[in-house]
Copies of this chain bind each other. A is one copy, B any other.
Amino acid sequence: MPDYNKLSKEKLRAELKRVDEAYDRFKQMGLKLDMSRGKPGTDQLSVSNGLLDAITSRDWDDDNNHSLRYLNYGLLTGIDECKEIFADLLQVPQKNIIVCGNSSLNMMFDYITQCMLTGSDGTPWSHQGEIKFICPSPGYDRHFAICEYYGIQMIPVDMTDTGPDMDAVEAIIRDPQVKGMFCVPKYSNPTGVTYSHETVDRIAAMEPAAKDFRIIWDNAYIVHDLTSKGDRLDNIFDALHRYGHDDMVIEFTSTSKISFPGAGVAALAASDRNIEIIKSRMKYQTIGYDKLNQYRHVKFYKNVEGLKNFMRLHRNILQPKFKIVLYEFEEELRDCNIAQWTHPRGGYFISLDVMRGTAKRVCQLCKEAGVTLTPAGATYPYGYDPADQNLRIAPSYPPVDELLSATKLLCLCVRKAALEKLLEE
């Protein structure tokens, strides 16, 4: 395949004709595929099949089991056995863990809500005029949506190979209206980057002008390796402690992509002071979260090692799916020299940069041929990608055969949009 940038108009037109024909053949196939969200596929769900049998009515007659104990009210911050697993996972003391319901996003939303109404540790954010958040971009659309809902102004900062552009971050935090920052520090959504030792250290060392500045450390992909080795991410609380900044970060994680999305368990880790502040809200908010489901997870995984073993099964399912997509990108896009993409070592996404100004068009073309992608721009604050070039590709949901068709179509659309663009110029 030729380098599109070096083709004459005539050759571009000939190539577009070939691509158009192939695209039309795809359209006639009547595909209906979804690569839009980081959903586990059915094959992955069956990995956690046994979770459904972890607690049964037979437990009633077993004196050594605790199911019965967890069927009533109370235990606001979660059951100890479940806290222990998350404490081992996040490498923090058990007293610094709170386990809640099924959604870490919900916990983040509730935390930001609390900061808005009663403050992170001081004046409510909603009483401080227009406040701002640092949003490494491309990033997670659901984080950005929370800011948008509360009218928190988002300041995009570029993602580099080692994490957010820290020079930019360090400049922005001099503004006392900047109250926080969203981070997905491991296998970042969507770029797959794991923050380097230096990045974590610089983040921990930050001295924001706002004393009530808080980092949402969304460690969603903490054990979601796609390679046997896996990336190493520094423990943020160890780093914070070196600088006496223990209160600056709230860490979140969940089993949404370990057990079941929507029926898993979510948790947070925070300093003693932040745990106290968060509990001071929770005790008004609820009598307790679903402890039975927490205990179900404990009985199924036993401990953090058990949980990690299950991640190997997920890896065996996910690895080939990522390889299919990356292989097709290599085959269908490399030579044309019109796109770049990431080679993630973990997480749920491939970040694909198509030719500038064509991401929206690629999405539209895919949609018309029956493949749903995350909308172009979604990975940027306000859904606005200034270069209109980033696409978040989620290979996990479709079965292998469908994924191959979808990726072939996607590559064709990337080429078609690039050719159209080049012919416009």
The answer to whether B117 and A73 touch across the interface, beta carbons within 8 angstroms, is: no
**Interface flags, A68-95, vs B, CB<8A=1, else 0:** 1011111000000000000000000000
The answer to whether B288 and A262 touch across the interface, beta carbons within 8 angstroms, is: yes
The answer to whether A56 and B53 touch across the interface, beta carbons within 8 angstroms, is: yes
Q: How many residues of A contact B (CB 8 A)?
A: 54
Asked whether A128 is an interface residue with its Cβ less than 8 Å from the other chain, the reply is no
Which of B49, B150, B262, B289 is in CB contact (< 8 Å) with A72? Answer: B262
Inter-chain CA distance A334–B149, complex, in Å, is: 58
> Would you give 19 A-B contacts (Cβ < 8 Å), ordered by A?
A39-B72, A39-B73, A40-B72, A45-B72, A56-B56, A71-B260, A71-B263, A101-B290, A102-B289, A102-B290, A105-B287, A109-B284, A113-B113, A113-B117, A261-B287, A262-B288, A262-B291, A263-B290, A263-B293
Chain A interface (Cβ < 8 Å from any Cβ of B)? 37, 39-40, 42, 45-46, 49-50, 52-53, 55-57, 59-60, 67-68, 70-74, 101-103, 105-106, 109-110, 113, 116-117, 126, 142, 145-146, 148-150, 260-263, 281, 284-293
Residues of B within 8 A of A285 (CB): 105-106, 109-110
Residues of B within 8 A of A149 (CB): 281, 284
- 10 further A-B contacts with Cβ under 8 Å, apart from A45-B71, A101-B101, A109-B284, are A39-B72, A39-B73, A45-B68, A49-B57, A103-B289, A105-B287, A117-B126, A146-B284, A262-B287, A262-B291
Task: Name the residue among A72, A101, A150, A292 with the largest chain B CB count within 10 angstroms.
Answer: A72
Inter-chain CA distance A37–B287, complex, in Å, is: 11
Q: Copies of this chain, how many? A: 2
The answer to whether A53 and B45 touch across the interface, beta carbons within 8 angstroms, is: no
Q: Write the nearest CB–CB distance from A79 to chain B, whole angstroms.
A: 10
Inter-chain CA distance A261–B296, complex, in Å, is: 16
Residues of B within 8 A of A261 (CB): 71-73, 287
Task: Name the residue among A50, A106, A110 with the largest chain B CB count within 10 angstroms.
Answer: A106
Which of B59, B116, B262 is in CB contact (< 8 Å) with A71? Answer: B262
Which of B60, B146, B262, B287 is in CB contact (< 8 Å) with A49? Answer: B60
The answer to whether A42 and B68 touch across the interface, beta carbons within 8 angstroms, is: yes
The answer to whether B57 and A52 touch across the interface, beta carbons within 8 angstroms, is: yes
Inter-chain CA distance A43–B238, complex, in Å, is: 47
Q: Which residue of the partner chain B has the closest CB to A146? A: B284
The answer to whether B60 and A46 touch across the interface, beta carbons within 8 angstroms, is: yes
Residues of B within 8 A of A45 (CB): 68, 71-72
Which of B42, B102, B117, B293 is in CB contact (< 8 Å) with A150? Answer: B117
Q: Write the nearest CB–CB distance from A374 to chain B, whole angstroms.
A: 13
